[in-house]
Amino acid sequence: MLKNKHLIAGEWLSGETTFTSSPAHGGAHKFANGTVDLVNKAAKAAEDAFWSFGSSSIAVRAAFLDKIAEEIDARGSDITKIGSEETGLPTARLEGERGRTVGQLRLFARHIEKINYLDARHDIALPDRLPLPRPDIKSIQRPIGPVAVFGASNFPLAFSAAGGDTAAALAAGCPVVVKGHSAHPGTADIVAQAIDVAIKACDIHPGVFSLIQAKSRDVGTALVQHPLINAVGFTGSLGGGRALFNLCSARPTPIPFFGELGSVNPMFFLPNAMASRAVDMGKAWAGSLAMGAGQFCTNPGIAVVLDGPDAEVMIDAMTAALKEMGPQTMLTDGIANAYRCGVKTIQDANDVTELVGTNNNDRSASPYLYDCSADTWLANHELREEVFGPLGLIVRASNLDQMLSIAKSLVGQLTCTLHMDEKDNEVAASFIPILERKAGRILANGFPTGVELSDAMVHGGPYPASTNFGATSVGTMSIRRFLRPVSYQNIPESILSI
């Protein structure tokens, strides 16, 4: 079922070199390795496609998105099989992620059909206005041009070839060039086959979508620096994302880099909630922390508590729950190695106590839990950095003022959470203005793992959670990343596609 090639403007192309996948189980496969020349071909094809696709009707684009979703579902069993082999993810997780992927394609189809995303405005002419007349002015959101999308290591479907960035860009009218992630090239291969069929069925210009498989960094570098690429969507590590962001900024014509990079997603457990349900919250945190081996950008890695008996109750419940959990397979050898390095950094820190710990070998990960004082946490920057995996850190504050100080010291986060009861409302209200400046999503009495696909969702935040604090990579607002307003003054309506 695999093509093992690149999809460039409707053609499946091989190359001079290949790379071999590194599956969690099952057989490895060889895939054509991308080149700078292929990037150039894909970008040029995307630019050619833009002249028709960028001005295509909403009905055409909505039907195209629906057809992609249909074709992905038609290959569901093949996608699950190769996805499980490549990533080690269980069938239920992959089927759920496929549902999310086709769901967001259809969500964007329905969203653009409502037309509101165009934000059309009209100031009628006032020829008799004094002291100066006003011209007729219309404005509308227009697509920006070809977009580059980087597949994410931790979501082989929902944030990859046909994931949220691709869906939003296509809905806006922007052709897409995807750099597939080398952790799951087979999954991307089959998804690209589905898109290829949809392109032909809908009679869309074939340059509207290209997939370049690559293990080398030069392909990603060439893609973000290509003069025909107008924006980049990225989900990944802080180091990799920042390097690409710098390349986008250093271009002769800089372009926006919409990178979702990392977050520790701190939670603040307020006094009355702790007094009434510490055990339940400890168990629930354990489940959220270890879900999917902690390989979510919204993994709640930090718990800030008031030191005292209630904290001990919650910690005991959390510790007991984590100790019952066995090892899980991580998505790649690289992620597993990075997790071990992150664990060692915490272990080597001064004045940090290990509450739960075990050995992690090869590609598996088991939970870790650590404990430190607020003073220790505030003084040690390394304790505030994301460890991608099921590692939790409890930060003990001596009073509410110190909890507020911790909140103020945070760098940008995807999420911040308040665990509270009604009697905590007054205290919680003092956190809100602080957390609004720190995070894109603020939760009460929940856990941030799991991001709803909706109109109101924000998945982003101040740096380093993302590189653009005004954007979201999840939800219908994410289409705004790939649109820009254009104003038309005294242009006859008959020649406008508004």
Just list the catalytic residues: 260, 297
- Tell me how crowded residue 377 is: count the other CB atoms within 10 A of its CB: 23
Tell me if the bond preceding 146 is cis, omega within 30° of 0. no
Q: Residue 293's closest CA among 460, 407, 449, 466?
A: 449
Contacts of 253 (CB under 8 A, 6+ apart): 227
In what helix (H) or strand (E) does residue 180 lie, and over which residues does it extend?
strand 176-180
Kindly compute the dihedral angle of the four CA atoms of residues 252, 253, 255, 261, in this order, to the nearest 10 degrees: 10
Beta strand residue intervals within 377-460, DSSP E:
391-397, 413-419, 439-444
- 309 to each of 101, 274, 306, how far by Cα in Å? 44, 10, 9
DSSP annotation string for 294-315: G-STT---EEEEESSHHHHHHH
DSSP string, 107-163: HHHHHHHT-GGG--EEE--BTT-SSS-B--EEEEEEE-S-EEEE--SS-TTTTSTTS
The DSSP code for 306 is E
Positive or negative: CA dihedral 92, 96, 101, 106 = positive
* Of 45, 403, 327, residue with least CA distance to 207: 45
d(CA 283, CA 412): 27
How is residue 95 written in tokens?
């089927």
What is the number of helices (H) and of strands (E) in the chain? 14, 21
Two tokens, residue 101: 């992927």
SS3 readout for 144-156? CCCEEEECCCCCC
**Are 475 and 453 a contacting pair, CB within 8 Å?**
yes
Query: What is the spatial distance between Cα 231 and Cα 364, in angstroms, rounded to a whole number?
Result: 36
